[in-house]
């Protein structure tokens, strides 16, 4: 059994929803002025349907709402009778079609009205077709006339959409009731009796706030996508920090560590007298490990490690290097570190399991790579008619020697229009094979005539 509560124009939707939740945990918010309740089991608490409707109307009146109430065995019948009849209307089970027979056919448009969506979700799309104008041209005026038509004839002329509307006219439900979940706030706050300074006392406060917040996320099978920490200072200022987490997590100790490491890099300017911790929830993480690849470290451990490195070295010095579109040798930029996605793992599995993708050892093509030094090594180079003939190094393990073969030079320059020595370059590059058996990439800076070893060719 279902009840539909339709409020007068100008009523507050949150008050109407709270009235419905006082009676049943299964409440479907159909619009700003309409809610549908599942009354299963309420007869043991209140009595018959008439008594339940009276209690609903009395509770709504106490909160300043004027409502119409319809009770029927289906939600469709309850919604339709509520739109046309004032007061309380009760439809006996099995007589839905009879109760709806005299209602105008235009009432079916209420099922095309936009419903209230859940937070952060787009509104429910409407059906593209509406057969009511066609039905009016057929001479149909009431729901009973539409319900009496042969279903196969309606399907032949209007398709499946016409059959669905005919079922609504008979009072049948198109789908089971889907309860609207209440909006939950994942937030904890604490007013301090005495202001605190420093991270050590703040860590105890954060632990006290994050433990119940983590338990709430655990009960709802949610994870934190963004962690917000708001510190209310004695100077009436608010020091707020937001951490974008790489993966949904709800471990209280990990969240506290991440918050403290971020506050270590961005400390508040005064003492703290109120702490607020909130998270943006997201569905929990489902992990499926592979039997063929090594498991990656957990996001909790990885986030803690990156946060510690960022606090020690600086945020701009921690991440993954990526190449940039530039002719400048060795140019790169940093992006946030993230492990390889599952698609790459799947590709590696395919390379292992697919014999067609295993290369033949006898037909492998050799590859040449340059292992660049983090900082180019200064070198003393003896030149004959502009060609290097001997290279001497002062670094242990790189003895240098006589140039037995060479390739070059390749002249490279750029960034001369920028007044910055770090972004401009003008040099000649050589690949040289020395008598010590190694091959090096060397270059000469044309403006200073200085030579450097850039890397080793493997």
Mind giving me the DSSP string for 416-427?
TTSS-TTT-EEE
Q: Strands of 187-196's sheet, edge to edge? A: 187-196, 272-283, 222-233, 238-249
Please tell me the predicted confidence (pLDDT) of residue 298.
Answer: 66
DSSP one-letter code for 341: P
Class of domain 2-169: alpha beta
306/8 Cα distance (integer angstroms) = 56
User: In the chain, where does the domain assigned CATH 3.30.70.270 lie?
Assistant: 2-169
Please tell me the predicted confidence (pLDDT) of residue 347.
Answer: 39
How many CA atoms does the CB half-sphere of 66 hold within 13 Å? 4
- Label residue 198 left, alpha or beta by phi (over 0 means left) and psi (-120 to 50 means alpha): left
pLDDT tens-place values along the chain, 458 residues long: 888 888 888 778 888 888 888 888 888 888 888 888 888 888 778 888 888 888 888 888 888 888 889 888 898 888 898 888 888 888 888 888 888 888 888 888 888 765 554 444 444 433 445 678 888 888 888 888 888 889 898 888 888 888 888 888 888 888 888 777 767 788 899 998 888 888 888 989 999 999 999 888 888 888 888 899 999 999 989 999 998 887 788 888 888 888 888 888 888 989 999 999 999 888 866 666 667 766 666 666 677 777 777 777 777 777 778 877 777 777 777 777 766 544 444 334 444 444 444 455 555 555 677 778 878 888 888 888 888 888 888 777 777 788 888 888 888 888 777 766 666 778 888 888 888 778 888 888 888 888 888 888 87
Give residue for tokens 């140039």.
403
Please tell me the predicted confidence (pLDDT) of residue 287.
Answer: 63
Cβ atoms of 119 and 95 within 8 Å: the answer is: no
Please tell me the predicted confidence (pLDDT) of residue 421.
Answer: 61
CA angle in degrees (0–180, nearest 5) for 437-443-446: 155
3-class DSSP state of 97: helix
Please tell me the predicted confidence (pLDDT) of residue 228.
Answer: 93
- Judge if pTM exceeds 0.85: no
Q: Give the E-state strand segments of 326-424 in sequence order.
A: 332-335, 370-384, 387-392, 400-414
Q: Is 24 exposed, middle or buried (0-12, 13-18, 19+ CB in 10 A)?
A: buried
Task: List all residues 6 or more positions away from 305 whose beta carbon is below 8 Å from its beta carbon.
Answer: 297
DSSP one-letter code for 45: T
163/156 Cα distance (integer angstroms) = 10
Q: Following DSSP, what letter does each residue of 279-310 receive, concatenated?
A: EEEEEPP-----SSSPPPPPHHHHHHHHHHHH
Taking each helix axis from N to C end, the angle separating 49-62 and 13-23, rounded to the nearest 10 degrees, works out to 140
Taking each helix axis from N to C end, the angle separating 252-265 and 199-219, rounded to the nearest 10 degrees, works out to 140
26/39 Cα distance (integer angstroms) = 8
For residues 33-72, one letter each, b for 16 or more C-beta atoms within 10 angstroms of the residue's C-beta and e for the rest, the string is bbbbbbbeebeeebeebeebbebbbebbeeeebebbbbbb
Which has the closest alpha carbon to 179: 390, 438, 2? 2
Structure tokens at 196: 């605190």
């Amino acid at each position: 059994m279902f009840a539909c509560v339709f409020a007068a124009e100008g009523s507050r939707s949150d008050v109407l929803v709270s009235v419905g939740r006082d009676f049943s945990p299964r409440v479907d918010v159909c619009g700003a002025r309409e809610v549908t309740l599942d009354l299963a089991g309420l007869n043991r608490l209140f009595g018959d349907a008439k008594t339940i409707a009276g209690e609903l109307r009395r509770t709504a009146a106490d909160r300043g709402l004027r409502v119409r109430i319809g009770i029927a065995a289906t939600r469709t019948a309850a919604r339709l009778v509520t739109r046309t009849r004032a007061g309380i209307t009760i439809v006996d089970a099995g007589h839905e079609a009879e109760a709806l027979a005299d209602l105008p056919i235009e009432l079916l448009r209420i099922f095309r009205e936009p419903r209230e969506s859940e937070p952060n979700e787009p509104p429910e799309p409407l059906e593209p077709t509406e057969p009511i104008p066609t039905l009016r041209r057929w001479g149909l005026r009431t729901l009973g006339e539409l319900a009496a038509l042969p279903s196969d004839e309606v399907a032949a002329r209007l398709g499946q959409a016409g059959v669905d509307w005919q079922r609504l006219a008979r009072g049948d439900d198109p789908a089971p009731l889907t309860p609207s979940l209440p909006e939950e706030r994942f937030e904890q706050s604490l007013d301090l009796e005495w202001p605190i300074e420093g991270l050590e006392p703040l860590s105890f406060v954060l632990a006290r706030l994050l433990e119940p917040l983590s338990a709430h996320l655990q009960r709802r099978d949610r994870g934190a996508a963004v962690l917000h920490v708001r510190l209310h200072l004695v100077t009436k200022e608010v020091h707020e920090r937001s951490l974008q987490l790489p993966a949904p997590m709800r471990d209280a100790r990990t969240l506290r560590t991440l918050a403290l490491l971020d506050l270590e890099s961005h400390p508040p300017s005064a003492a703290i007298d109120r702490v607020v911790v909130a998270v943006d929830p997201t569905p929990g993480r489902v992990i499926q490990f592979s039997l063929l690849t090594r498991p990656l470290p957990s996001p909790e451990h990885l986030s803690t490690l990156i946060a510690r490195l960022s606090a020690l070295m600086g945020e701009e010095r921690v991440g993954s290097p990526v190449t940039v579109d530039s002719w400048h040798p060795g140019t790169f930029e940093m992006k946030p570190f993230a492990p390889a996605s599952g698609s790459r793992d799947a590709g590696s599995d395919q390379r292992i399991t697919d014999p067609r993708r295993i290369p033949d050892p006898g037909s492998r093509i050799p590859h040449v790579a340059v292992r660049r030094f983090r900082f180019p090594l200064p070198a003393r180079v003896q030149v004959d008619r502009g060609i290097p003939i001997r290279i001497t190094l002062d670094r242990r393990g790189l003895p240098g020697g006589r140039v037995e073969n060479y390739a070059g030079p390749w002249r490279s320059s750029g960034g001369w229009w920028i007044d910055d020595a770090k972004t401009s370059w003008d040099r000649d590059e050589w690949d040289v094979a020395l008598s010590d058996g190694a091959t090096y990439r060397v270059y000469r800076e044309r403006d200073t005539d200085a030579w450097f070893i850039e890397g080793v060719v493997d």
